Amino acid sequence: MATIIPVEPFDCVVFGATGDLTLRKLLPALYQRFRDKQFSAECRIIAAARSDLTDEDYRQRAEKALRLHVPEPDLAGETVQEFLQMLHYARTDGAKPDGFGPLCALFAEPGEKVRVFYLATSPELYGAICANLGANGLVTPKARVVLEKPIGHDLESARKVNDDVGRVFAEAQIYRIDHFLGKETVQNLLALRFANVIFERLWNADVIDHVQITVGETVGVESRGDYYDHSGALRDMVQNHLLQLVCLLAMEPPLDLGTDALRDEKLKVLRALRPIAPHEVSHLTVRGQYVAGAIGGKTVEGYLKDLGEGRTSTTETFVALKLEVRSWRWANVPFYIRTGKRLPKKVSEIVIQFRDIPFSVFPRDSADMQPNRLVIRLQPEEGMRLGLMTKDPGPGGLRLRPAELDISFEKAFSIRYPDAYERLLMDTVRGHATLFMRRDEVEAAWTWIEPIIESWEATGDKPRPYAAGSWGPTASIALIERDGRTWHEELG
Ligand code: BG6
């Protein structure tokens, strides 16, 4: 049974309160934390949006969202009603200084409570909302602002968002969310590396041949076409989630888990990424866009149809990259990463492929000698598998056979895995920023990503088509096989 440490009373204002993220993720996450008694009914959750709604209207929407997105057994009893009573609605136009009247009225009484301003709006509004929060006197020393990704569209726009927000909030008050960092299994990478002696000693170029990261999704762009088409897989997934995974895998041990120590180490990795030069882009990167196909026996449309009849687009829904971390630890150890929509499985997995043994005492025909491989499953079926060579049982000779040390977290711990937002929202209230991105990290990630986008644009590189339900364009297979390696075969 996990220990729940209650947080101090807070007011959480969510901008973009009628949007998909709030209804699908934030309210269910807050509900689960309330249900676990991590905070009391003294707290207020204030929904801010432009629609003309009453508290009651909003509570009805929220209840519908909870019924859709929270597992049925967790909705039993009085808790839902108690939670809904904590919700208030404030009609707010974040872009206008005089659009904050109802919100200010809710803060008329002076108070010392923690204030969380969660910006789940389009990032173009972040600067204006923050300026208007400041101008309306809502930013207290105990206030924090949470910024959803994407922070900007490129380096320049990211800097502008950071500058605008930084004029009102100190860096220590700014929580830039990368929800992958809130996933239990992603945090478990820290435990794996730094709470066990056996891996960290081997975590380097001496014994690791290469690393693979796959983040596959079966969904298409759904109703997010307008956002997604402006973004694409590189900006939507790689600039943040996948690079954060690379950081956690590649970084040096931090001095401690304090706010800056971990982020300092991640930053060093981002700065150590070897820039991909324009002439290398064609063989170190692959872009794809899904066309109609079938997933799990169900036929699905292609990306262009998903965007809307008659649309054209050169936005990538799949990307594969080969990257290098320039350091002693990782010299000549490539990281192959790939992510895409409409792939055959929703799966996030890391593969650490160890090198061959330097010399074999076994007869050549004793079996296929397979180098050790550590497979870390982030989602679903969270767990880890370590491939080992063992003796094939039986008399006579000494033949070998691969076997696995296999740990399933679900079986080992048998508790519900909290959603990433549950952890991150409570960390914001507590003032723990370790699992959030610092300004310099976001900007370093853009610095590495931007030349790739520029090269794609300069060469007019178009994404290669791949059938929905496949593992992306064949060029992605060629990307790794050219080096005599292969994507982890159980995934495809
Ligand atoms: C989001 C992306 O950040 O992460 C989405 O914008 C993507 O496109 C999502 O679907 C994946 O998150 P998860 O938690 O479902 O793996």
Q: Is the pLDDT of residue 466 over 70?
A: yes
Choose the residue to mutate in 151, 178, 180 for probing ligand 1, maximizing ligand atoms within 8 Å of C-beta: 180
Report which ligand 1 atom has the smallest distance to the Cα of 221: 8
3 state SS for the chain: CCCCCCCCCEEEEEECCCCHHHHHHHHHHHHHHHHCCCCCCCCEEEEEECCCCCHHHHHHHHHHHHHHHCCHHHHCCCHHHHHHHCEEEEECCCCCHHHCHHHHHHCCCCCCCEEEEEECCCHHHHHHHHHHHHHCCCCCCCEEEEECCCCCCCHHHHHHHHHHHHCCCCHHHEEECCHHHHCHHHHHHHHHHHCCHHHHCCCCCCCEEEEEEEEECCCCCHHHHHHHHHHHHHHHHHHHHHHHHHHHHHCCCCCCCCHHHHHHHHHHHHHHECCCCHHHHHHHEEEEEEECEEECCEEECCHHHHHCCCCCCCCCCEEEEEECECCCCCCCCCEEEEEECCCCCCEEEEEEEECCCCCCCCCHHHCCCCCCEEEEEEECCCEEEEEEEEECCCCCCCCEEEEEEEEEHHHHHCCCCCCHHHHHHHHHHHCCCCCCECHHHHHHHHHHHHHHHHHHHHHCCCCEEEECCCCCCHHHHHHHHCCCCCCCCCCC
Average pLDDT over residues 357-373: 82
Q: Is the pLDDT of residue 354 over 60?
A: yes
pLDDT at site 61:
97
Ligand 1 centroid to Cα of residue 134, in Å, is 31
The pairing of strands 383-391 and 400-408 is antiparallel
pLDDT at site 202:
95
Average pLDDT over residues 329-342: 98
Asked whether the beta carbons of 22 and 120 are under 8 A apart, the reply is yes
Ligand 1 centroid to Cα of residue 217, in Å, is 8
Choose the residue to mutate in 26, 177, 217 for probing ligand 1, maximizing ligand atoms within 8 Å of C-beta: 217
Ligand 1 centroid to Cα of residue 225, in Å, is 14
Residue nearest to atom 2 of ligand 1 (CA): 236
Q: Is the pLDDT of residue 490 over 70?
A: no
| Opening angle at CA 186, ends 183 and 190, nearest 5 | 135
pLDDT at site 98:
92
pLDDT band for position 491 (cuts 50, 70, 90) = low
pLDDT band for position 477 (cuts 50, 70, 90) = very high
pLDDT band for position 492 (cuts 50, 70, 90) = very low
Convert the pLDDT of each residue in 131-160 to its tens digit: 999 999 999 999 999 999 989 999 999 999
pLDDT at site 225:
87
Residue nearest to atom 6 of ligand 1 (CA): 236
Could you give the C-alpha distances from 43 to 78, 84, 142, in angstroms and in order?
17, 12, 14
Active site residues per annotation: 241
Ligand 1 centroid to Cα of residue 234, in Å, is 12
Average pLDDT over residues 264-290: 97
- Please tell me the pTM assigned to this model: 0.95
Residue nearest to atom 10 of ligand 1 (CA): 217
Task: Give yes or no for residue 236 CB within 6 A of ligand 1.
Answer: yes
Q: How far apart are CA 474 and CA 451, in angstroms?
A: 24
pLDDT band for position 256 (cuts 50, 70, 90) = very high
State the chain's mean pLDDT as an integer: 94
Ligand 1 centroid to Cα of residue 233, in Å, is 10
Ligand 1 centroid to Cα of residue 341, in Å, is 10
Residue nearest to atom 4 of ligand 1 (CA): 237
pLDDT at site 254:
96
pLDDT at site 44:
97
Residue nearest to atom 13 of ligand 1 (CA): 180
Task: Give yes or no for residue 217 CB within 6 A of ligand 1.
Answer: yes
Report which ligand 1 atom has the smallest distance to the Cα of 178: 3
Task: Give residue 103's identity as a one-letter amino acid code.
Answer: L
Residue nearest to atom 15 of ligand 1 (CA): 217
